[in-house]
Amino acid sequence: MRDEPVFTKVLQVAVVVKDIAASIRRYADEYGIGPWEIYELNPDTVENMIIQGQPQKYAMKIALASIGEVEIELIEPLCDKSIYAEFLREHGEGIHHLACDVKDYDGTKAFFKKKGNQILQEGTWNGETFTYFDNRQDLGIITEIYKRPAEFEVPEPDSRYPE
């Protein structure tokens, strides 16, 4: 048994959706979840885009809101190349991954590599590196971890709902 857990905290639950605007309205208007901050992530805003070990450009629109201490992320793929588009094709809308905090990003990445858990997708947004691991064989889920520099600041959103 490990001395310490791999993950220290669940940060985010991410849901892939077909229509982010409709989903945001449903979450906010029917369930009171929000406010939402909306961003488009694409080759102009994300560096070092990688899918399954290969450089690959992809794009998505995301919306972020919180329920208590857990962030909810809605993701609408804007191209057919990302792991989100693949998920939508194969499963339809639904929970795609959990983002978890880790004490040591590089150590966690090495741990999963040693276990043979494939890196599905990576990129760097505003200085923050995000990495998705295929942990479905072991844990039944895709997990995401972040490497966030001390000076990281979340950029201004493209839009908000409600405004």
* Domain assignment of residue 14, yes or no: yes
* Domain assignment of residue 17, yes or no: yes
* Domain assignment of residue 3, yes or no: no
How many structural domains is the chain composed of?
1
* Domain assignment of residue 15, yes or no: yes
* Domain assignment of residue 2, yes or no: no
* pTM as predicted: 0.95
Q: Is the pLDDT of residue 1 over 90?
A: no
Residue recorded with tokens 């990495």: 131
| Pick from 64-68, 100-104, 151-155: least confident | 151-155
**CA-CA distance, 107 to 31, in Å (whole number)?**
39
Contact 100, 112 (CB under 8 A): no
* Domain assignment of residue 104, yes or no: yes
User: Residue 50 belongs to a domain with what CATH number?
Assistant: 3.10.180.10
Domain ranges, residue 69: 9-161
Q: Is the pLDDT of residue 10 over 90?
A: yes
DSSP state of 17: -
Residue 152 CA, distance from chain mean position:
17
